Structure 1
Amino acid sequence: MTSCTQNQNPFLHANIWSRCFHSWIAHLLTKNHKHGTLHLTDLYDLLPEFESTKLTDKLEANWFDEIKQYPQEPSLIRATLRTMGWKPLLVGCLLIPTDGPFSLKNITFNARPGDLICIIGPVGAGKDFAQLPYGANTLVGDQGVMLSGGQKARVNLARALYRDADIYLLDDPLSAVDVKVSKHLFEKSIKSCLGHNICFLATHQVQFLRYATTIIILDNMGTYAQLLDSSSLFASLLKETHQQQQNQSANLEKQSSIEDSNLIEKQDTETISSLPPTNIEMKQEGTIKWRVYVSYLQASVSLPIALLLIVLLFFAQQTTALFSTWWLAKLNDDESYRYQIFKNCTTMNIHKSNTMRLMNDYEWKEHRNREFYTYCLTLVCWLNPWSLIPAVMAGSVMILLRNCFSRCSRDLKRLESLTRSPIYSHLTSTIQGLKVIRSYRAEAMCLAEFHSHLDNNIRAEYLHTTVNQWATIRFDWIALIFITCITFLVVIVRIAQYRFTVADIALTLSFSLNLTGLLQWMIRQSVEVETQMTAVERVLEYCSLEQEPFTQVSFNCCPPINWPSHGRIIFDNVSMSHSTDEHSPLVLQNISMTIDAGEKVGIVGRTGAGKTSFIQTLFRIGTLINGRIIIDNIDIASVGLNDVRHRISIIPQDPVLFIGTIRSNLDPFDRYSDTEIWRALEEVII
């Protein structure tokens, strides 16, 4: 049983009749009609034989058997058929979905939940958890995009503390946090929590080396005192570090003489709560809007042309069907066939026939044929008063049935799409964090989570297929009843009017079957179109997201070629948010400052206080709620994005290297010579 539902599947207690005709699904249709929509909690549990865990185990065993039997060309299809039997033909192919973004609770990796309280303090996450919208269950997004670098470092360290291992390998976990937080992490986490464990710490912060039992420096190693006596390199390094710390202390003493600025004056407060809830995926409800159909048609051609093509295709299909029926009827006309034989076999003796014989031939050719075709044309008309009653009843019941199951089918399709899309994110996160998962031996937990979300998708897909089969059976019942009524009416007409031949009866029944088949096809296709349009609905939802401004502006608004020539930056009452929602919290609020040309400015703040967001405003990343930013007397809001981002350089917090050579990463647009690139490499000591 999955974690998302406690609804027992009524199929387990259904009788043979209910299982054959899918009557057990009627309760779900009633619930959908009563509440107007379906949610994931309304879905029934999977049948035991459809649970992904059991299917995976069976498929794995059958796959190994397949490799043994066919080592040269193993077939996954044969292994799947041995696993599922013929059930895939009955319930459709099972889609493979996944889970969405990880939440903070996944840092536990199946450790004891009670240990979370013991870990929050040492990693300094108490204030973070208190300000998160949903506490420890807040979604952090793929690769932790909703967290800052320092917050991700603390989450990673907390996950390591959860393991309670004997040996810890810490690869510079303090580099992404500030001095205050790094001191707290070292004192409370590394010294206190890991005081009795073997801990290898790689770090460039030499102020913590005095607490190490053994220090390894490139080609030398020893204790703190031994390295002071034997290694001049280590002694000079400590001297430089000590001098830097003294300078920092002196600068801190002068802090009171520095004029307070309203730039990010949140001090110890954090802006974590202002993160937009972009990870919460909403499900559409109700019928498909007409604008979805219009947008779908406009995506290919203009709307009038699309409607004209649909009408022409419909008439062409109907004309072709009627012509083929007429041609077959004409070809199989016994009387016409005998008449043609008689005509072709006529020899010169026809000229010797008497006048009566000529009159008989003329009467056969003109009168009898004209009477027959007239009779065929009027046959349906004088039968309509009798066949109209079952036709209207059948059409009304089919339309009522269509309205009943189309709503449920549409909601189930939406749920299927909703549970299918998150797994791609889950698989991506799993592949990217495969080393971490294996090092923490969390394969079983990740696999169980995958199976849980896989079961959610299978439940929605299975119920969607079952609802469609339920409707198909009912449509066939209605068609059967309609044909039965038409047959009885035809027999009654045959008894009452002897001129109604067997061929006429066959023609009437044939067109009645075509009528019911066409009506069923139209209803099923209308529901299928409405169901499949949910995919278009989701695409339009993404297309309706607010886009960035134009990358290029008119030539008259382009900045000078040498802009920015000085680099004077003015922030005029700037307020910035990560979301376009007017009610979303502000990351930066009412910032006013001036940075003169050539100045070196340091942005100080705790982890998550908005330092990165402050830099992003220069690149017009995010939403500028209020104010303006002026660089060399030009408002960057009036400049195209290409000009702004090409003429300003940034070193991101998380460097990104693209596929290719080192030179292509250094100069992706091939604008600089090899000499200039070598000079830049020498300046960064590479």
Structure 2
Amino acid sequence: MQDFTAFWDKELRTPTLQGLSFTVRPGELLAVVGPVGAGKSSLLSAVLGELPPSQGQVSVHGRIAYVSQQPWVFSGTVRSNILFGKKYEKERYEKVIKVCALEEDLQFLENGDLTVVGDRGITLSEGQKVRVSLARAVYQDADIYLLDDPLSTVDAGVSRHLFKQCICQVLHEKITILVTHQWQYLKDASQILLLEKGEMVHKGTYAELLKSGVDFASLLKKENEETEPSPVPESPTMRTQTSSKSSVQSEQSSTALLKDAAAEDQDTENIQDTLSEERRLEGKVGFKTYKNYFRAGAHWSVIIFLILVSIAAQVAYILQDWWILNWANEQDTLNIMALGKGNKTEKLDLNWYLGIFSGLTVTSLLLGVTRSLLALYILVNSSQNLHNKMLKSILRAPVLFFDRNPAGRILNRFSKDIGQMDDSLPSSFQKFIQTFLQVIETSRDVKRLESSTQSPVFSHLVSSLQGLWTIRAYKAEQRFQELFDSHQDLHSEAWFLLLSITRWFTLRLDIIYFIFVSLVDFGSLLLAQTLNVGQVGLILSYALNILVFPWCIRLSVEVENMMISVERVIEYTELEQEAPWELKFRPPPDWPNNGMIALSNVNFKYSSDGPLVLKDLTTDIKPGEKVGIVGRTGAGKSSFIAALFRLSEPEGRVWIDKILTTEIGLHDLRKKMSIIPQDPIVFTGTMRINLDPFKKHTDEELWNVLEEVQLKEIIEELPDKMDTELVESGSNLSVGQKQLVCLARAILRKNQILIIDEATAHVDPSTDELIQRKIREKFAQCTVLTIAHRLSTIIDSDRIMVLDSGRLEEYDEPYVLLQNRDSLFYKMVQQLGKAKAATLTETAKQ
């Protein structure tokens, strides 16, 4: 990289990256460090080619493997996520599983590495998703590895294992750029790049940076640890520390690489986007569906009125034909009488006959317009109400529903199905509302198939957009395009089959109509002597009107098919719901004023048929107590929080300030606890709305809280300051900045119970220390539960809760646990090294 400067947004006054120059050669490890928002992830984006330069150049020679800060996995098996299109080689695969510390995790999964991870990898913990992403990168055997802070979301032991076994050994011959906040590993880096506000503050080896006199040295003293002998013997081919300068120019992967990728696609272990099959009803659309559809649009009295108006309109239309028949017969009778007597034909009273006919025509017209407007009102209103009912039902659905149904499946109901109900169904319904609804079984089932095959198209598209940078980094665009094409082809096949059936049905109706009209015409000729003129005219008129009948039958089939959309929407309006948001019993307004939490024999699982993730948990948390929750990745730490929030109903009892949580509504429970989640949630909208969505705070309070979490300067540099729009998922903020936004939001809420779920995983140690200090100041009288992999974050807690495989193994004061050499907590601390362990022990003693 040579004199590189780039902007994510040209409107911003300061560039994202400015004047960066460095070179990394094979066998070197470049560690990139710096505070939150320094531009570390943007640096990797520049190497990937996702951040275009406004000045300077980047040169990349070789294939890239990329591990994003927020790990991306697609809806397939663990194995297909790791292989990512490569051929399955057992020995190599098992080695990758071992160095990425996935062996134990795979043993706990129901089907091992053939377990389907679900949409967005929902069945895996954050640490497991990171290691699957890292395993994918290692298995690719690329030339360049870009690792965006993969060590922050795993516990200390796993972090050390990944660094020593994976990064320092398996990747020792590769070019590796590691963004990290785990500064204890910087001694092993060939070069260290220190960034601040997008600029390179310093570059050099560990020793050079210690001598440079920058703040870096003091920061390292806090986090550093004594070098421990590696459990794996040093190899002469381990990385060597070198310092070098750069020159660099971007190169696309060669055609040969693309050919290799295409060849690998032929293997049976190709990328497989595995989704659970969408539920599809069978048989005819039931009367209940029609009833619910019309009932959603209007009251029964309005629907009955519509039926009466429709009947009246049809009667008026038929009376017109009858009146013309009567008129013609009367005139024919007069003509015959005049012909027999040889007199002049007597004329009928035209005003009388014409007046009655005009009256019937106007009546028919008015009734027809009334029928159409009333039907349109009912059908459009029905579509709107069902949409709102479905949205409300989905918002009330338990978390398990979103685990089992990918986003594309839900989007399909809100887009394709609601679109048909809004556009096609009302007009088609009006056109055949007076025609008997025929049941055409084949086309109906094909329509159900067509609707369900569109969901995987949406799901694959959403998943691919979420992991777009990863897909591009691995040059897997062709493979994912082919996968998308296969989903689209399946949908197109069902769509074409539906069209073919409809057209064939129309052709058969036209043939029947032709035969029928021919028989009527010849029959009229044969019966000419027994029929009068009016009767023949009426017969021929209705025979021609039969032309509308095949069209109406075709419309009835289309409506029956479109009612499948109504059926699918109604299915989502009847989803299993969470417990009521509010119950008759409401806790006092100041509840909980102490913050005491007690659990008794709590078992917890995310689904009725799923495994227990918390087992027989009994514990208590005193008012105002600060509790640290630790354990290996997947031990049940986040599930403990899910049980408190009743994301799924736990077995056993949970009390908060002596009130049983199952006896109050979910809103009353959840709004009284603040959480800073593992995956920071930022909404599309302004920074002001994100901090204060209910507009309860003044601008001064908002700016003060931004200053407390060190975001004030960053927000002030934005064009519209606090009114700057944050894009979808807050992607114009770094992950660390989004975690700080969530912290600011929690400080403003001022709840008595605060839950922190790995909230400082993606911030540097100095910012982590600041956050912990602010939490101690702002929540001094509150109960605080902190889940963290950085033991320094929770070592000063009042008590430590150690979870393992869903069970509470240890729960005591940190210093007491450290005195027991057999305790799990003691072993976790010792894995950090002697110096760090001594520091933590001293902190716990205080």
If the length of structure 2 is used for normalisation, what is the TM-score? 0.53
One-letter amino acid of the counterpart of residue 509, structure 2? F
Q: C-alpha displacement at 1:550, in angstroms?
A: 2.9
Tell me which residue corresponds to 1:541: 571
CA distance in 2, matches of 1:101, 1:525: 39
CA distance in 2, matches of 1:230, 1:499: 118
Tell me which residue corresponds to 1:201: 178
Structure 2 SS opposite 1:603: strand
- Identify if the C-alpha distance between structure 1 residues 633 and 452 changes in structure 2 by more than 3 Å, giving closer, same or farther: same
Alignment of structure 1 residues 1-20 onto 2, 5 Å: none
Q: C-alpha displacement at 1:631, in angstroms?
A: 0.7
1:101–1:422 Cα contact (<8 Å) kept: no
Tell me which residue corresponds to 1:648: 673
RCO higher in 1 or 2 (8 Å CA, sep ≥ 6)?
A: 1
- Identify if the C-alpha distance between structure 1 residues 499 and 206 changes in structure 2 by more than 3 Å, giving closer, same or farther: closer
CA distance in 2, matches of 1:463, 1:134: 37
1:573–1:592 Cα contact (<8 Å) kept: yes
CA distance in 1, matches of 2:615, 2:179: 38
Counterpart of 2:155 (choices 166, 178, 181) is: 178
Alignment partner of 1:335 is 2:322: no
Structure 2 SS opposite 1:650: strand
CA distance in 1, matches of 2:510, 2:703: 78
Q: Which has the larger radius of gyration?
A: 1
Choose 438-447 or 457-466, whichever is displaced more: 438-447
- Identify if the C-alpha distance between structure 1 residues 324 and 101 changes in structure 2 by more than 3 Å, giving closer, same or farther: farther
CA distance in 1, matches of 2:699, 2:521: 90
Structure 1 SS opposite 2:151: coil
Counterpart of 2:596 (choices 550, 568, 584) is: 568
Q: C-alpha displacement at 1:279, in angstroms?
A: 4.7
- Identify if the C-alpha distance between structure 1 residues 360 and 576 changes in structure 2 by more than 3 Å, giving closer, same or farther: farther
One-letter amino acid of the counterpart of residue 196, structure 1? E
CA distance in 2, matches of 1:364, 1:280: 75
Tell me which residue corresponds to 1:18: none
Tell me which residue corresponds to 2:465: 431
Counterpart of 1:511 (choices 542, 547, 550) is: 542
Q: C-alpha displacement at 1:618, in angstroms?
A: 2.0
CA distance in 2, matches of 1:428, 1:312: 48
Tell me which residue corresponds to 2:321: 325
Alignment of structure 1 residues 19-38 onto 2, 5 Å: none
CA distance in 1, matches of 2:147, 2:604: 36
CA distance in 1, matches of 2:616, 2:275: 25
One-letter amino acid of the counterpart of residue 625, structure 2? E
Tell me which residue corresponds to 2:188: 211
Q: C-alpha displacement at 1:548, in angstroms?
A: 2.5
Alignment partner of 1:312 is 2:308: yes
If the length of structure 1 is used for normalisation, what is the TM-score? 0.65
- Identify if the C-alpha distance between structure 1 residues 171 and 577 changes in structure 2 by more than 3 Å, giving closer, same or farther: same
Alignment of structure 1 residues 16-165 onto 2, 5 Å: 101=75, 104=78, 105-114=80-89, 116-133=93-110, 135-136=112-113, 138-165=115-142
CA distance in 2, matches of 1:107, 1:243: 33
1:294–1:303 Cα contact (<8 Å) kept: no
Tell me which residue corresponds to 2:491: 457
Tell me which residue corresponds to 2:202: 220
Tell me which residue corresponds to 2:561: 531
Alignment of structure 1 residues 248-263 onto 2, 5 Å: none
Alignment partner of 1:441 is 2:475: yes
Alignment partner of 1:559 is 2:572: no
- Identify if the C-alpha distance between structure 1 residues 658 and 363 changes in structure 2 by more than 3 Å, giving closer, same or farther: closer
One-letter amino acid of the counterpart of residue 591, structure 1? L
- Identify if the C-alpha distance between structure 1 residues 487 and 615 changes in structure 2 by more than 3 Å, giving closer, same or farther: same
CA distance in 2, matches of 1:327, 1:435: 74
Of Structure 1 and Structure 2, the greater helix share is in 1
Q: C-alpha displacement at 1:534, in angstroms?
A: 1.2
How many residue pairs match? The answer is 498
Tell me which residue corresponds to 1:478: 512
One-letter amino acid of the counterpart of residue 544, structure 1? E
Tell me which residue corresponds to 1:74: none
Q: C-alpha displacement at 1:110, in angstroms?
A: 2.8
One-letter amino acid of the counterpart of residue 529, structure 1? V
Counterpart of 1:241 (choices 209, 223, 229) is: 223
CA distance in 2, matches of 1:364, 1:108: 93
One-letter amino acid of the counterpart of residue 608, structure 1? G
One-letter amino acid of the counterpart of residue 575, structure 1? N
2:329–2:533 Cα contact (<8 Å) kept: no
One-letter amino acid of the counterpart of residue 473, structure 1? L
2:605–2:613 Cα contact (<8 Å) kept: yes
CA distance in 2, matches of 1:485, 1:590: 81
- Identify if the C-alpha distance between structure 1 residues 101 and 542 changes in structure 2 by more than 3 Å, giving closer, same or farther: farther
1:575–1:627 Cα contact (<8 Å) kept: yes
Q: C-alpha displacement at 1:227, in angstroms?
A: 3.9
- Identify if the C-alpha distance between structure 1 residues 172 and 500 changes in structure 2 by more than 3 Å, giving closer, same or farther: same
- Identify if the C-alpha distance between structure 1 residues 411 and 101 changes in structure 2 by more than 3 Å, giving closer, same or farther: farther
Structure 2 SS opposite 1:121: helix
Which whole-Å deviations, capped at 9, do the CAs of 1:245-299 have from their partners, x for residues lacking one?
A: 99xxxxxxxxxxxxxxxxxxxxxxxxxxxxxx99542222222232222211221
The root-mean-square deviation of aligned C-alpha atoms, in Å, is: 3.7
CA distance in 2, matches of 1:435, 1:617: 35
Alignment of structure 1 residues 390-401 onto 2, 5 Å: none
One-letter amino acid of the counterpart of residue 157, structure 1? L
Tell me which residue corresponds to 1:608: 634
Choose 412-421 or 324-333, whichever is displaced more: 324-333
Q: C-alpha displacement at 1:197, in angstroms?
A: 0.5
- Identify if the C-alpha distance between structure 1 residues 337 and 108 changes in structure 2 by more than 3 Å, giving closer, same or farther: farther
Q: C-alpha displacement at 1:328, in angstroms?
A: 5.0
CA distance in 1, matches of 2:112, 2:282: 29
Q: C-alpha displacement at 1:233, in angstroms?
A: 4.8
CA distance in 2, matches of 1:514, 1:664: 61
2:328–2:534 Cα contact (<8 Å) kept: no
Which whole-Å deviations, capped at 9, do the CAs of 1:125-158 have from their partners, x for residues lacking one?
A: 3344454455555443443333221122112212
Instruction: Report percent identity of matched pairs.
Output: 42
CA distance in 2, matches of 1:466, 1:313: 36
Structure 1 SS opposite 2:498: helix
Q: C-alpha displacement at 1:683, in angstroms?
A: 4.4
Which whole-Å deviations, capped at 9, do the CAs of 1:556-612 have from their partners, x for residues lacking one?
A: x22222211111101122222222x3x333332322211111222222222223211
CA distance in 1, matches of 2:161, 2:627: 26
CA distance in 2, matches of 1:501, 1:331: 13
Structure 2 SS opposite 1:602: strand
Which whole-Å deviations, capped at 9, do the CAs of 1:413-444 have from their partners, x for residues lacking one?
A: 11111111232222222233222222222221
Which ranges of structure 1 fall in alignment gaps of 5 or more residues? 1-99, 247-276, 343-355, 367-398
Tell me which residue corresponds to 1:21: none
CA distance in 2, matches of 1:448, 1:313: 54
One-letter amino acid of the counterpart of residue 676, structure 2? I
Tell me which residue corresponds to 1:617: 643
Which whole-Å deviations, capped at 9, do the CAs of 1:166-203 have from their partners, x for residues lacking one?
A: 22221111111111221222223212221101111121
Tell me which residue corresponds to 2:748: none
CA distance in 1, matches of 2:345, 2:491: 73
CA distance in 1, matches of 2:676, 2:112: 32
- Identify if the C-alpha distance between structure 1 residues 447 and 198 changes in structure 2 by more than 3 Å, giving closer, same or farther: same
Q: C-alpha displacement at 1:628, in angstroms?
A: 2.2
Which ranges of structure 2 fall in alignment gaps of 5 or more residues? 1-73, 196-200, 229-273, 350-434, 712-846
Choose 116-125 or 285-294, whichever is displaced more: 116-125
Counterpart of 2:453 (choices 419, 425, 431) is: 419
Structure 2 SS opposite 1:601: strand
Which whole-Å deviations, capped at 9, do the CAs of 1:52-101 have from their partners, x for residues lacking one?
A: xxxxxxxxxxxxxxxxxxxxxxxxxxxxxxxxxxxxxxxxxxxxxxxx94
